[in-house]
Amino acid sequence: MRCTRNWKVSDALQEVEHLHRLRHFHIVQLVGSYLQGRTFSILLYPAADCHLGTFLEETGNVFTLDDDNLRRKIFLASTLSCLASTVAFIHSNTTRHMDIKPANVLIKAVKNSHPERHWRVYLADFGLSRSFAAQDHSQTDGPTARTPKYCAPEVYEGKLHGRSADIFSLGCVFLEILSVLYGNSPCDFADFRRGENGSDESFRGNLDRISEWIDILISSPIGHQETLTKSLVWGDKGIYPVLPPGLLDIVRQMLRHDPNERPTALFIQEFFELGGYYCENLFANSGCCLSGPEPYVASYLTSKEDM
């Protein structure tokens, strides 16, 4: 990153400080940093293959019977509890992310003991993050840098905002993931938010239409007949109910206009855990959220297929 009038060394050091302090399996790790002239470089691990937005666009229709496509759906379902755990960890360490969006959710393909290929998810880009000293001082007043499409209403309007703004943005990400799992493309969802004559596809600007969209998903064949659950099989572990009942209602709460009506990250994490829908019980990972930072592994490119 190049240091300019709008992006100073102090801003870059802020991201370094957050990454140094926040060590979690699903948070990119700080390897090192250096300043060369006006260019400040941060070395991060691991090197991702893509971000969540790209992964969602490439995943395709939920009814596709292709094995790789089904594995992608299984992975996407497992990321929900992992992301909830990660945000709860960030908030418990007196920090807010402030810019949760698909482009900041990184995905890396990995190979393990399973013959199939799967993926891991990481939350990145803490450049906008802010720390707070205690529970009573977790609010920020005034304008904050943000991504308009995914930011909470209070952030967009420059009002007092706190950790619940992260919950709104996480709800946006959750709903995009669930929309794909329910057989829609990200473009389908964006078109619905805009409406016939609209140009605004932001979440905070279309809360009524988002509530309608959630109702559509709940009443869809997948919502009624558990088509997704019945179609996802992983090795010898059989068929698993990968989406907990009531999840879309939780997402609806995450996207409330009033910050005080949104659940906390800890509540969302416990929602998955109490129902048994956490990573240790799912397919793509095995207790990853409880295992601490991921150990470094050297990567060797041997062919185009390894990219």
CATH number of the structural domain spanning residue 85: 1.10.510.10
Look at 97 and 294; give whichever has higher pLDDT: 97
What pLDDT is recorded for position 112? 63
To the nearest whole number, what is the mean pLDDT of the chain? 78
Taking only the tens place, the pLDDT of each residue in 44-75 is 788 889 999 999 999 865 555 567 777 888 88
Residue linked to tokens 């959630």: 214
What pLDDT is recorded for position 224? 44
Q: Tell me whether residue 91 is in a domain.
A: yes
Quick one: how far is CA 47 from the chain centroid? Answer: 17
Q: Tell me whether residue 10 is in a domain.
A: no
90, 159, 194, 218, 292 from 19: Cα distances, Å: 11, 27, 36, 38, 14
- Confidence at 154, pLDDT banded by 50, 70, 90: very high
Residue 35 predicted with pLDDT over 60:
yes
User: Is the distance from CB of 168 to CB of 262 less than 8 angstroms?
Assistant: yes
Residue linked to tokens 């691991």: 46
Span 230-243, mean pLDDT? 48
- Rounded to the nearest 5°, which phi and psi values hold at 300? -120, 120
> Is the Cα dihedral 106, 107, 113, 114 positive or negative?
positive
DSSP 8-state code for residue 115: S
Question: Can you point out the beta strands (E) in the chain?
Answer: 29-36, 39-45, 50-51, 95-96, 105-111, 117-123, 130-131
Q: Tell me whether residue 31 is in a domain.
A: no
What pLDDT is recorded for position 178? 94
Tell me the β-bridge partners of 239. Answer: 233
Q: Tell me whether residue 20 is in a domain.
A: no
- Confidence at 238, pLDDT banded by 50, 70, 90: very low
- Confidence at 146, pLDDT banded by 50, 70, 90: low
What pLDDT is recorded for position 57? 92
What pLDDT is recorded for position 217? 92
Residue 270 predicted with pLDDT over 70:
yes
What pLDDT is recorded for position 193? 95
Q: Tell me whether residue 13 is in a domain.
A: no
Three-class DSSP category at 32: strand
**Domains contained in the chain, number:** 1
Q: Tell me whether residue 19 is in a domain.
A: no
Q: Tell me whether residue 215 is in a domain.
A: yes
Cα–Cα distance, 26 to 22 (Å, whole number): 10
What pLDDT is recorded for position 227? 47
- Among 54-63, 104-113, 114-123, 173-182, which stretch is predicted with the lowest mean pLDDT? 114-123
Q: Tell me whether residue 15 is in a domain.
A: no
Q: What domain range includes position 240?
A: 49-290
pTM: predicted TM-score of the whole model, two decimal places: 0.81
Cα–Cα distance, 231 to 190 (Å, whole number): 26
Tell me the β-bridge partners of 140. Answer: 161
